[in-house]
Structure 1
Amino acid sequence: MGAFSRADGARHPHHPRTYEISDPEEIRAYRAVVRLGHELAGPDPVFCSCGDDTGAHPSPERDRLLDPLSPEGIPARHRARWVAAAPAAVREYAGALAAGAEDPDLPRGVPPALVFGWLGAVREEPRDAAWLLAERGPSRLLAGLPTEELAWAVRETDRAGLEGAVRFFASEEFTTRHPKRRRVPDTARDRLLRHARGHRPADLPVLERRLLRTPDDRIRRS
């Protein structure tokens, strides 16, 4: 799916420029509004100047289905599905993001290992209209945490958490930190590199370059 243009310029801050639909019911509904759009555009739709990139000519039915701000639309359904799958400790925060809050208050006391697991969880529809939220939401919770706390969480997390941890440590949220804040104890660093070798090889070169070593005995947990 392509970008959606509204006449008033309003937008959902976490709606991606492109996304996919795979649910048969949603596909049928989309095809129906495309057919309607072809009828409205007339015999020569090449010259349609609506400026939209969804593949469907503007109509009330299209707006209701594809507008990211429509509570009845496909994007809203995808966001609601993402919120429902979020861990209980972060569900209110996820709901605020899905509702369109640009920068909601961060929940307190959420273990980083849980957030790693949220980021790394397997999603049935990984490229739906909530895929950008699925990256931004957890990453914003992790971005402000000290490296030492993140490293301890790497030690404690499960496989889904390691998936999320590798994604976070290879992302700009971590790799752009000052070198002093990129020092990761050997045990955590080794776990990240091992998971990347087996499951995310594209991230391995970034991790090898940007994760600076710190002996485990230099880090103490309070």
Structure 2
Amino acid sequence: MGAFSRPDGARHPHHPSSYEITDPDEAAEVRAVRELGRARAAAAGEVLFLCTCGDDDGTRHATPESNRLLDPLSPDGIPARHRVRWVAAAPDALREYAGALAAGAEEAAAPRGVPLSVVFGWLGAVRQEPRDAARLLAERAPLRLLAAAATAELAWAVRESDRAGLEGAVRFFAGEEFTTRHPKRRRVPDTARDLLLRHARSHRPADLAVLERRLLRAPEDRIRRS
């Protein structure tokens, strides 16, 4: 699906520019509102055989029904359903935070007392619908929490992470939120560094070279190895 434009210019801050609908029932709903829009346009005298628009976002022949279904701000729409599904899959301790962002908050208060290993696991969890309308939220929400944490806290959380957590940790440490930090803030103890490199080597080889360049050894590790 393509981007949806409202006449008033309002938008959901975390709605992606494109997303996929794979659920057969939702796809059938989209086809139905498109056909309804074309039927009404034909009844109004529009020559439809000249239309080559494809109607990717459902707005070429918009109706109240298509707007209600496809508008990211519609509480009954498909994008809202995708966000609700994403919130429901969030870890218990992060669900309120996820819900605030899904409801349309540009920023949300970070939850207190949640281990960063849980956040790593949230980022690294396999999503059944990775290209749905919540895909931008699924990246932004955990990354914002991780980006605000000190490197020492992140490194300790790596040691406490399971496989999903290590997946999320590699994605974070290989991403812009970490690699653009000052070199002094990219010093990671050997234990965490080795765990990250080992996971990347086995499961995310495309990230390995970035990690090897950007994960700097902590001073005490360099002294111990000399």
When normalised by structure 1's length, the TM-score is 0.91
Do the aligned partners of residues 136 and 46 (structure 1) sit closer, same or farther apart at CA in structure 2, a change above 3 Å counting?
Answer: farther
Separation in 1, partners of 2:50, 2:219: 63
Deviations 1:116-150 (CA, angstroms, capped at 9, x unpaired): 00111111111110011011111111111110110
Separation in 2, partners of 1:44, 1:165: 51
Separation in 2, partners of 1:201, 1:55: 39
2:11 maps to a residue whose letter is R
Runs of at least 5 residues in structure 2 that lack an aligned partner in the other structure? none
- Higher mean displacement: 35-44 or 136-145: 35-44
Matches within 5 A, 1:7-156: 7-41=7-41, 42-44=46-48, 54-56=57-59, 57-156=61-160
Structure 1 residue 44: Cα displacement: 3.3
Do the aligned partners of residues 46 and 182 (structure 1) sit closer, same or farther apart at CA in structure 2, a change above 3 Å counting?
Answer: farther
Q: Number of aligned residue pairs: give it.
A: 216
Note if contact 2:190-2:221 (Cα within 8 Å) is conserved in structure 1: no
1:94 maps to a residue whose letter is A
Runs of at least 5 residues in structure 1 that lack an aligned partner in the other structure? none
> 1:177 aligns to what?
181
1:6 maps to a residue whose letter is R
When normalised by structure 2's length, the TM-score is 0.90
Separation in 1, partners of 2:19, 2:211: 28
Separation in 2, partners of 1:47, 1:157: 53
- Runs of 4+ with >3 A deviation: 44-49, 215-218
Separation in 2, partners of 1:171, 1:66: 32
Deviations 1:152-187 (CA, angstroms, capped at 9, x unpaired): 111110000001101111111111111110111111
Separation in 2, partners of 1:18, 1:197: 31
Separation in 2, partners of 1:213, 1:32: 58
What value does the CA root-mean-square deviation take over the aligned residues?
A: 1.9
The alignment status of 1:160 with 2:178, answered yes or no, reads: no
The alignment status of 1:204 with 2:188, answered yes or no, reads: no
Separation in 2, partners of 1:112, 1:86: 14
Note if contact 1:186-1:216 (Cα within 8 Å) is conserved in structure 2: no
Deviations 1:87-112 (CA, angstroms, capped at 9, x unpaired): 11111110000000001111111100
Separation in 2, partners of 1:104, 1:151: 24
Separation in 2, partners of 1:216, 1:198: 27
Do the aligned partners of residues 46 and 150 (structure 1) sit closer, same or farther apart at CA in structure 2, a change above 3 Å counting?
Answer: farther
1:19 maps to a residue whose letter is Y
| Structure whose alpha-carbon radius of gyration is higher | 2
